[in-house]
Amino acid sequence: MQSQHTTTPSLSTRCLDTRPGHEQSPQAFWQGILAPLCAVSSPGATDGSAAGFATIHHAGGFLLLHGCMPHLELRRTPARLAQDGLDHLLLTCLLAGRAGWTDGRPNLLRQGDCITVDLAAPFSLRTSPGFEALHLIIPRLALPAGVAPPEPMRPRRLAGGQGMARLLQGLAAALLAATTAPWPADLAGLSRPVLDLVALALGPARHEAGAGANADLRRRLRRHIEENLGLGRLTPERLCTDLRLSRSQLYRQFEGDGGVEAYIRRRRLDRSLRMLADPALAERRIGDIAYEAGFADEAHFSRLFRQHYGLSPRAFRKSGSVWTSLPTHPAGTEDPTVRFAGWLQRL
């Protein structure tokens, strides 16, 4: 499997353009590239000419996947959910072909339709030959709680004739144009407006769509932390008080993250990175960005930023590109599956 990059410097480490090798079957190709996201099988025989392609862009606040697939079945099972712990939403805008999806009952997705699938809930999607779609992979925490509540949701379909589906299809077309233009746009600068538009189009989630009566504790904690990152007093003690937890309950939720304080620090650094990358905030002082992200001291923030990202906040901002100066993740790898997996886990 080869990885081809655009020649535009600002996108060179943030775009994966993958196509099957001559020795690969379509099923093997898609099993490889989509392994970090779902299990892939082929319900019927497909020939090599129907393999299609996948182009994945990292847009800062979301991932953009443009793909043309043969006849495949994509599945996320309860066992898979427990294994990878992904807490993102998948918004699919169908550009061509058809697909059948199941979340306890069968449904049909046609050209022009849009569907939002919660990657924290089981689902199955079966594509027809020539299925072409643009997918946005969005962290739950990047959308308002009313649109993306803590508890997993059932898929939400917008029929192609509806106004909001047409709005999302238009957005998909604009994003494709931005990435395929002679001078592709750096999508990270568009990240926040795109997510705001997606939230507007999806609207509030229906209460009855929840997959369980009680929200998962970890998701509630993550949402609470995200909404209060700017507060300097966001401490383990404060979290225990706000959410009525014992310290042992709190710490168990972040054992895999190096502890709750390490998790909060990373989220603050991630927020500051996005703010420094936002062209609309180019005139804002670095100290103000540090304080808004929850850091009490600019010098301390700069030291942490350099330790985490390998360069100072000022150098990152002066680089003239959102991602050029940052290493790929994991560092040095050219395997698109490994890089895609890293993007998903750090989104």
Q: What is the DSSP string of 271-337?
A: HHHHHHH-GGGTTS-HHHHHHHTT-S-HHHHHHHHHHHHSS-HHHHHHTSSSSTTSPPSSTT---HH
Higher pLDDT, 26 or 197: 197
Three-class SS state of 255: helix
Q: Give the number of other CB atoms < 10 A from CB of residue 331.
A: 8
Query: Which residue is listed with tokens 């962290």?
Result: 139
pLDDT tens column, 84-134: 888 899 999 999 999 998 776 778 899 999 999 999 888 888 998 889 999
Tell me the CATH number for domain 2-212.
2.60.120.10
pLDDT tens column, 127-164: 988 899 999 999 998 999 889 888 888 888 999 988 99
Q: Give the number of other CB atoms < 10 A from CB of residue 82.
A: 8
**The pTM is what?**
0.77
- Number of H helices and E strands in the chain, helices first, is 12, 13
Three-class SS state of 207: helix
- The tokens of 219 are what? 């998701």
Q: Taking Cα atoms as reference points, which of 40, 19, 23, 22 lies closest to residue 31?
A: 40
Where exactly are the structural domains of the chain?
A: 2-212, 217-309
Given 3.20.140.10, 3.50.50.60, 3.30.2270.10, 1.10.10.60, which CATH number is that of 217-309? Answer: 1.10.10.60
Q: List C-alpha distances in Å: 267 to 98, 109, 130, 209.
A: 38, 36, 39, 29
